[in-house]
Structures are given as C-alpha cells and as structure tokens.
Structure 1
Amino acid sequence: MGNNYNSGYRERNYKGKLLFKVGDIIRGRVFSLLNSSLHITLEDKDLGVVYTICFACGNDLTKVPGGLKCPSCDNFEERKVSSDYGKEAFTTLYDKQYSIE
C-alpha cells in the first residue's frame, strides 16, 4: 500500500533510499489510523523531506539528483525529497522550530 513507519523511524523502502532522518521536516499523507497508529505514505512526488540541515556541519542542503548535498562540506545525504524541497516557507518554519531565545 505505502511506506509506513512510526515517529522518528526511517526505512529504505523508496527505491532503496533512506526516506528521512530524525529532525527532518517532511510532508506525508495519512492513509490509515489502524491500531491507533498513523500510517503515512511519502510516495507522491510532492511528499517527502521539505527541509533539513546537513548532519555533518549543520548548514542548509541543496537538492541534487538522488538526494541532498551540502555546498559547505560536500556531504551527500540520501533522502526521499519532496518536489517542494527548500521553499522559503519551510525554511522559516524550521528556523522557528529550532530558534534559541
């Protein structure tokens, strides 16, 4: 049916790719609430990671064929990336979520 996982879990079900990592902002579609658990799919092209940072240096990542790449340290990260990856609204949302005040 679709990829399903629990919060914070990651799988290699999308063409062998890592779907997401803890800390990523993702867009998914709930397809079931079976057994009081959310079952989410990331199969459509607009679903997947919409924003994340480099796990090596903490800088913004750039969408490249096959995943994401850090322009600062050249780290490549494998993800199921949304067609909306890196749009300004998601960057602002991430900054608000992790701002230190």
Structure 2
Amino acid sequence: MMEDSFVLPGDTVGSLEEFVPGDYTYAREGMIFATTAGLVKVDPKTRSASVIPKTNAPVKLNHGDIVVGEVIDLKDSLVIVSLAFKKGYEDRPISDEEATIHISNVKNSYVKDLRSLFSMRDILKAKIVDERQMRLSTGDEDLGVIKAYCNRCLTGLMRKEGKLICPNCGNNETRKMSSAYGLGVV
C-alpha cells in the first residue's frame, strides 16, 4: 500500500515483514489491516504503518482530557454538564454525552454551595477524572466557567477585577471562573 492512500476498515495497509502495526491498524496472518477509514502513514523511524482517521467517528474520551460543555442542571452536590467537545477536537462535537462534577472536584478548597459557583447555561472547561462514570474536575486554575450569563437578564457577564458584572443591568455574580474566562477555549 502506498503512503497517503485512502483505506477502508479491513483494507491491507502493509506486511509484517516491512512494518509494525501503528495507530488504527491490526495484524493478522502476516499482514497489517486498517481499523478505520483514513490515509495510510508510514513512520520511517519506527517502521510503523498507521492510518490517520478521516471519518466523523465519535471522539474517544480518556482520563485527563480537557472537555467543554454547558451546565444543564444543578443538584445539591452535583453539577450536570452536557459535553460539547474535547479540546483539540473542536470540529468533532460530542453528541448526547453528559458528565458530572461532584462538589469535591470543583475547587481545591471547601465548597459549601454549588449554586454560588455555577449557574444554568454556564459554559465551562473541565478535566475528565473518571471516563467510565464521566466525572469531571474544575480544580485547576485554568478550569472552570469560561462564559456565564446574567441570572436576571441573560446578558453575557463581563469579568471586571475578579468579579462578573452584567453590562446590561449591573448585576454582580460569582462563579468558579477559569483563568481564561472570556477568552474562549484556550
């Protein structure tokens, strides 16, 4: 198989005499086969043959990944988040995946009331701490709310001297803000 050739699952990528199987490939009976649709890539240093996926397959979420989502519900000890995408894969949305942030994973200090740190419709950045139960953490300084809306008039809140102020009605609110609040996903 030529490098940069487009392959489908099950297509031959190379032989085990020439290469070792790389990402998105598997070996059987002396040959290397593709596990996904994509382009064949050969690494001359490791002599590995891989496939670079070219499909809209769902993004795999792993422990330590940074994700962005919207707060859709608040309980006494949980924030429920509808995940939008994984950082680095902004063009491949996550569909129908919900995750939770337990009150113990919000900050590196005691949290008495989640409603003082999060609100419905907040957009936040969090780290996956348990990919099987989809538990998230916002404990790091760069994690937390990156966009918030006024609870009175639904206008986007502006960060001013460490506080969130509504430019429309003047309402002051608090959140567990990311150090990148208002800068988008960085």
Note whether the superposition's TM-score is higher than 0.5: yes
Give 5+ residue unaligned stretches, structure 1: 91-101
Residue 182 of structure 2: aligned partner: 86
Q: Distance in 2 between matches of 1:6 and 1:55?
A: 17
Going by fraction, where is strand more abundant, 1 or 2? 2
Residue 167 of structure 2: aligned partner: 71
Residue 134 of structure 2: aligned partner: 38
Runs (4 or more) in structure 1 with deviation over 2 Å come to 8-19, 64-67
Give CA deviations for 1:74-101 in whole Å, capped at 9, x if unaligned: 21111100111112x46xxxxxxxxxxx
Distance change (3 Å), C-alpha of 1:6 and 1:57: closer
Q: Distance in 2 between matches of 1:47 and 1:65?
A: 18
Larger Rg: 2
* Equivalent of 1:7 in 80, 96, 110: 80
Q: Distance in 1 between matches of 2:165 and 2:138?
A: 21
Residue 86 of structure 2: aligned partner: none
Q: Distance in 2 between matches of 1:66 and 1:60?
A: 16
Give 5+ residue unaligned stretches, structure 2: 1-76, 82-99
Q: Does 1:23 align with 2:121?
A: yes
Give TM-score, length-normalised by structure 2. 0.38
Q: Distance in 2 between matches of 1:52 and 1:58?
A: 9
Contact 1:5–1:39 (8 Å) recurs in 2: no
- My pick for the range that moved more, 70-79 or 59-68, is 59-68
1:53-68 matches, within 5 Å, as: 53-65=149-161, 67-68=163-164
- My pick for the range that moved more, 4-13 or 48-57, is 4-13
Q: Does 1:52 align with 2:148?
A: yes
Give CA deviations for 1:23-77 in whole Å, capped at 9, x if unaligned: 11000001113xx421111011110000121111121211134541112212111
Specify the code of the residue in structure 2 equivalent to 1:58.
L
- Between the aligned residues of both structures, percent identity stands at 30
Give TM-score, length-normalised by structure 1. 0.64
